Amino acid sequence: MNFGLTEEQQMVLDMVRRFADEEIRPIAGELDKTHRHPKEICRKLGEMGLMGVSTPTEYGGAGMDNVTYVLALTEVARGCASCGVIMSVNNSLYGYPVKMFGTHEQKMKFLYPVAHGEVEGCYALTEAGAGSDAGALRCRAERKGDKYIVNGVKKFITSGNVAKCCVLAATEDPSKGYKGIINLLVDLENTPGFSVGAIEEKIGILASGTAELVFEDAEVPVENLLGKPGEGFRQMLEGLNAGRIGIGAQALGIGRAVLEDSLQYSKERVQFGQAISSFQAIQWKLADMATELDAAELLLLKAAWYEDHGLNFEKEAAMGKMFASDAAMRASVEGVQIFGGYGYCKEYPAERHMRDAKICQIYEGTNEIHRIVIARKLLGMR
């Protein structure tokens, strides 16, 4: 067993860490305050190959492995959680199904510009009545000649307000349940009948837009079908597994930021004539944070290694995402406690980390769903 990084992995890690410290972290507070999309950061991440880390170079990516992806995404999210989730969606939730199931022509049109960092992608799955129960989709795609006519409303779509490319989950026949689900590649800029609906007001990841996508007799060419009819649900599950590694890395990055801020503040804050870092109560909080975050990192790297080696990584991805997001949430709450009254004020980033961490326990599958996934794998259930 070798815990050392390859020369390439270490090089990427060092590069992204510098970029996060010098260009992302200094503006994270402003992005949170203004809610603006960090377009300039996204374009630079694209230039660095980070919007398609494991996508082949032929299709605009960097052609690296998923271990490198976890390392890089953790650093980006350490700088800004919103930037982290945008990068995660481009790479995994959107990028994975196009990379794995698209034709060459589809990849050149829909994967290349996203993996190259020219535009953002999104995955339109969730609906008002289909969250954890992803098979209960009601967004309808009816084939008429050489087009699918799409009607439905998607909710809580990350990057939906800025994305140019979309993987859309829809059903050809609701009575067929999951067997009727298909995925369509949609050019959101040039699709008659599509519009962006409400932009959600959230408590965290405020520079990452979360939008409603509205399809009213929207016309999508049949050639944009991803794979074959009836394969959509399987594609969805595989894409979500990849996405869970990304969200786990996002959570890990948030936790790392909390730990760094807490360590620095504990050395500076003086009470009873000494730095609070000298108090055992504070030391134990820091020790617990560091231990849980290191454990989360190992789980995520294991899941990424499994994916790189073509192994089934469903359980490992669920474990990594679940544990990392729980660890990040616990760390962020303790971070606020260490900062005391200042932790509850916007002068310091502690409160932002706590707001950002919470969503990681919810999206890409709630942690309750992940526990079900893990248990079923352990029990040999389907």
Question: Helix 25-34 and helix 66-79: axis angle, to 10°?
Answer: 70
pLDDT at 167 over 90: yes
Residue 177 pLDDT grade (very low, low, confident, very high; cuts 50, 70, 90):
confident
Task: Report CA-CA distances (Å) from 318 to 122, 233, 235, 303.
Answer: 21, 18, 17, 9
pLDDT at 382 over 80: no
**Helix, strand, or coil (residue 212):** strand
What angle is formed at CA 153 by the lines to CA 96 and CA 138, rounded to 5 degrees?
80
Antiparallel, parallel or unpaired: β 181-187 and 274-275: unpaired
Fold entry, domain 233-379: Butyryl-CoA Dehydrogenase, subunit A; domain 3 (1.20.140)
Q: Which of 189, 297, 364, 368 is catalytic?
A: 364
The residue ranges of every structural domain in the chain are: 7-120, 122-229, 233-379
The CATH number of domain 7-120 is 1.20.120.160: no
Task: Provide the token pair at 164.
Answer: 């140019």
Residue 134: predicted pLDDT: 78
pLDDT at 168 over 80: yes
Q: Give first-to-last CA distance, the chain, whole Å.
A: 31
Q: Which of the following CATH numbers is that of domain 122-229: 1.10.340.30, 1.10.10.10, 3.30.479.10, 2.40.110.10? A: 2.40.110.10
Residue 136 pLDDT grade (very low, low, confident, very high; cuts 50, 70, 90):
confident
Q: What are the pLDDT digits (tens) for 81-111?
A: 999 999 999 999 999 999 999 999 999 999 9
**Can you spell out the DSSP letters for 232-252?**
HHHHHHHHHHHHHHHHHHHHH
Tell me, yes or no, if 364 is annotated catalytic: yes
CB 36 within 8 A of CB 43: no
Q: What are the pLDDT digits (tens) for 203-223?
A: 999 999 999 999 999 999 999
Residue 178 pLDDT grade (very low, low, confident, very high; cuts 50, 70, 90):
confident
Q: What are the pLDDT digits (tens) for 280-298?
A: 999 999 999 999 999 999 9
Q: What is the spatial distance between Cα 97 and Cα 40, in angstroms, rounded to a whole number?
A: 26
CB 243 within 8 A of CB 99: no
Mean of per-residue pLDDT scores for the chain: 96
Q: What are the pLDDT digits (tens) for 56-89?
A: 999 999 999 999 999 999 999 999 999 999 999 9
Q: What is the spatial distance between Cα 75 and Cα 286, in angstroms, rounded to a whole number?
A: 20
pLDDT at 1 over 80: no
